[in-house]
Amino acid sequence: MSLRTVLAADLNPIQTNGWLTGSIAPRPIAFASTVNAAGVRNLSPFSFFNAFGSNPPMLAFAPNRRGRDGTTKHTYQNVVATHEFVIATVSHAMVQQMNVASAEYPDGVDEFTKSGFTPLPASFVKAALVAEAPVQMECRLHQVVELGTGPGSGLMLIGEILCFHANEEMLTHDLPDPRKLDHVARNGGAFYTRAFGDSLFEIAKPAGMPLGYDRLPEVLKHSRILSGNDLGRLANTAELPDLATMPRKTGDPEGAQDLEEAIALAVRSENMAEAWRLIGQRLRC
């Protein structure tokens, strides 16, 4: 592997943005609904966004200073004026209209009207809910964190979540279901990711204290067949089985390479008991 190192101090703001948004990706999208002091609605997407605490429930997003002239965006101005906002999540069915909402409309233009989304009254704040969104959160401004003063500098808005709203169809056992949301996320450049179908996968959380990579049999770590993910899955075993007593079965492969291929197959199909049994054979050949 040849490693490219780039000093942040050597990059101009456009290059920095390219490295940031290309490296920290995919990013969830906050579709921020706000109103200005006169009550005119605003709706814009922001992918510098995440959740940061659950007690109290906190999220943050960053409508930053414009890269070209350092001026602030309407969303930022509205939140600073009203201290409240709604964050809606964005599904694949919404992505083209969301893109229309991201244009730099003049102050006072209702971006619900421009993008064609349906405003609904919220429960606690003046900003509107987005009827089409799978999940949304009404928020009260907690803190503004200024991360610089020049063009492209960060203006992070931290909000306390007052309530969640979800389309009933998006829920399973009373929680948002990743298989139903069809969320989109932002990557570098003009790329997006869709979290749906085959792109979703599950990993069992480590149960208690996992075995760890360091305790895997050395021979497995030097395998040219087992991948980092295979070894990681094996390292996520609760107890190291007694490999010396693993039974041999008729039809088991004989050679080291064939055994490692069989181990990889068992791991990738989540048949961990079979994987460890075959590892026992591998250690004996």
Helix axes 272-284, 228-235, angle to 10 degrees: 110
171 token code pair? 């829920």
Contact between 75 and ligand FMN per CB under 6 A: yes
Q: Which range touches ligand FMN (CB under 6 A), out of 102-110, 119-127, 135-143, 159-167? A: 102-110
Contact between 133 and ligand FMN per CB under 6 A: no
**Amino acid at residue number 50:** N
Do residues 255 and 236 lie in contact, with contact meaning Cβ atoms separated by under 8 Å?
no
141 vs 58, 125, 145, CA distance in Å? 10, 11, 11
How far is 90 from 135, CA to CA, in rounded Å?
A: 8
Q: Which range touches ligand FMN (CB under 6 A), out of 50-58, 99-107, 119-127, 212-220? A: 99-107
* Nearest distance in Å: CB 184, ligand FMN: 8
- Neighbour tally for 30: CB within 10 Å: 30
Contact between 46 and ligand FMN per CB under 6 A: yes
Instruction: Please identify which residue in 33, 47, 97, 136 interacts with ligand FMN, judged by CB under 6 A.
Output: 47
Contact between 281 and ligand FMN per CB under 6 A: no
Q: Which range touches ligand FMN (CB under 6 A), out of 97-105, 131-139, 246-254, 273-281? A: 97-105
* Nearest distance in Å: CB 164, ligand FMN: 21
Query: Which CB atom, from 114 or from 180, has the smaller least distance to ligand FMN?
Result: 114
How far is 131 from 180, CA to CA, in rounded Å?
A: 16
Contact between 102 and ligand FMN per CB under 6 A: yes
Q: Which range touches ligand FMN (CB under 6 A), out of 41-49, 207-215, 228-236, 261-269? A: 41-49
The number of residues that bind ligand FMN (CB under 6 A) is: 18
144 vs 59, 61, 82, 154, 278, CA distance in Å? 12, 10, 13, 10, 56
Contact between 33 and ligand FMN per CB under 6 A: no
Query: Which CB atom, from 79 or from 122, has the smaller least distance to ligand FMN?
Result: 79
**Amino acid at residue number 46:** F
| 3 state DSSP class of 114 | helix
Contact between 117 and ligand FMN per CB under 6 A: no
Contact between 193 and ligand FMN per CB under 6 A: no
Instruction: Please identify which residue in 73, 183, 277, 282 interacts with ligand FMN, judged by CB under 6 A.
Output: 73
Contact between 159 and ligand FMN per CB under 6 A: no
How far is 165 from 137, CA to CA, in rounded Å?
A: 6
Contact between 64 and ligand FMN per CB under 6 A: yes
**Residue entry with tokens 């179908």:** 197
**Amino acid at residue number 153:** S
| Strand ranges of the sheet holding 183-186, from the earlier edge strand across to the other edge | 27-28, 183-186, 192-195
Where does this chain bind ligand FMN (CB under 6 A)? 29, 42, 44-48, 62-64, 73-75, 99, 102-104, 186
